[in-house]
Amino acid sequence: KLGKMSFTRLDGSKYTTVLDQKGISYKSVNNHVGFCAACKTLTDALNVWAPSGDYSEWLGSEYTRIGIGYDETTGYWSILTLN
């Protein structure tokens, strides 16, 4: 059974708090969470998300940095883009 996707951390705080805790400065940040158990690489995940329409929005040119996370046990991917 799949869990619920959320833009909050397990402790209930906003996803941007991880950046604050690590001392990472940013002007804006975008978060994309998706499920793709068959995706074993970032390229696989991006190929699945590309047709979704919002792909270009969260990977737009105004973003200059990216953080990527993957949970092998659930198949969930998380991508943070920021500037």
pLDDT of residue 5: 63
pLDDT in tens, 21-76: 999 999 988 888 888 888 888 888 888 877 776 666 666 678 888 888 888 888 88
pLDDT of residue 21: 93
Spacing of C-alpha 51 from chain mean position: 17
**Euclidean distance between CA atoms 82 and 77, whole angstroms:** 17
pLDDT of residue 20: 92
pLDDT of residue 58: 66
Tokens 């696989």 -> residue? 44
